Structure 1
């Protein structure tokens, strides 16, 4: 059995969420913007919302996968500051604007150019967009970071899930899709649609994008 197969089997026994790894950072970005009303697109089971609601006046979570949306809705039942909608981004309230919008491993499921434009329009003046996204590996830099992630991933798995798992955690069972755009393509589109957006390559096959909409 080759090394990658062994790593895959090990990681399956010690699963952990690469998306949850960035929860604290995302919540900090939202909090530092002073956002009061937040939209979390593709909220999953609500792990990020659990942090966002501590600082915001209200958090709306959109989740198109019915079983996942039901889990999130049950989790926050009776919480006046959180609303979970079984809906995708295209089914949002188009008349509403938010002080901050977050997307975690969601943007690559959607048409990039159109979605970035609509996200900008959904922000209130002075609002902040925070994205943790997936990209298609293409450059030497991509593969270098990927190699580092391959080494770090099982270590994190042992730390976060030391006992061998019989099944994936529920937050890791929602439908997934392969990324279409490279990081360079995302940078080009963001520069055209979200002037001033800050994009960084991140560990564990992710990148971050932060955009502040002008106040005027």
Structure 2
């Protein structure tokens, strides 16, 4: 069983401090504080769509935070279970869904889940880089029912010119999205954006290689705003391992 600490998304601009003037990054950070928007929430509808396309009935969201993705998943699934290790976030999510018996929020990390339960779909948003990569991918595979779907939006360590180019594009788009998503100045960050962050260790090449070994057939794409997506469909019938 994997033992972990808290998991949460990484810093929003992990590499560019080495190639962009610090004054510009500081200005961008202040702007983002005044017009906050979540890079992770941007992918929520996409994740819910991939889950719905798999016709999943019972879904596990690992690292559910305040429950933003859970709310989207609940519209498509019969039951949703959220795991959240941060006590404050877990309490907020539990309170949010207190009147919905189809939603269960458990204050636990990935290691604290029910190891015997399987789900039709499992989702992780900016969580995987907090966990040991290959062992976690292996255990995630075993969390799925036959034919189940894993959907990941993750963070990766930037390396190389392509990553740099995509990051520069994201830097240009970031303030525009801030004005669109949150045009009025915010007095404080929303709760779901206040959790601690950590930097990703693995590059996208590392993640592709690990997925090829542990999740054959997984589909991985580089995404904007320092993210990648991974979608894996378990075989309809389990193969011996």
Matched, 1:132 2:153: yes
CA deviations on 1:43-93 (whole Å, 9 max, x unpaired) are 000000101011111000000000000000000002011000000010000
Shift of 1:98: 0.3
Q: Compute the TM-score of the two structures, normalised by the length of structure 1.
A: 0.98
Alignment-derived partner of residue 168 in structure 1:
189
Partner of 2:17: none
Structure 1 residue 4 displacement after superposition: 2.1
In 2, Cα distance between equivalents of 1:149 and 1:129: 26
Secondary structure of 2:122 counterpart: strand
Q: Determine if the alignment matches structure 1 residue 148 to structure 2 residue 185.
A: no
Match of 1:104 in 2: 125
Bigger mean CA offset, 123-132 vs 173-182: 173-182
Q: Could you tell me how far apart the structure 2 residues matched to 1:125 and 1:174 are?
A: 34
Cα drift, residue 174 of structure 1: 1.6
Deviation, structure 1 residue 5 = 2.0
SS of residue paired to 1:142: helix
Find the residue that maps to 2:33 and give its secondary structure.
helix
- Mark the runs of 5 or more structure 2 residues left unpaired by the alignment: 1-21
Quick one: distance in 2 between partners of 1:117 and 1:55?
26
Name the SS of the counterpart of 2:81 in structure 1: strand
Q: In the alignment, which residue of structure 2 is the partner of 1:31?
A: 52
Q: Tell me the TM-score normalised to structure 2 length.
A: 0.88
Does 1:81 find its partner at 2:102? yes
Q: Which residue pairs with 1:5 in the alignment?
A: 26
Aligned-CA RMSD value: 0.8
2:205 is aligned, of 181, 184, 189, to 184
Superimposed CA distance per residue, residues 150-189 of structure 1 (whole angstroms, 9 cap, x where no aligned partner): 0000000001111111211111012211101000000000
Gaps spanning 5+ residues in structure 1: where? none
1:3 Cα deviation from its structure 2 partner = 2.1
* 1:105-152 CA distance string (max 9 Å, x none): 000010101100000011000000000000000111111000000000
Among residues 48, 53, 66, which one is paired with 2:87 in the alignment? 66
Give the Cα–Cα distance (whole angstroms) in 1 for the partners of residues 194 and 24 of structure 2.
Answer: 25
Per the alignment, residue 116 of structure 2 pairs with 95
Partner SS for 2:228: strand
Q: What is the alpha-carbon distance in structure 2 between the residues aligned to residue 86 and residue 8 of structure 1?
A: 31
Q: How far apart, CA to CA, are the structure 1 residues paired with 2:190 and 2:231?
A: 28
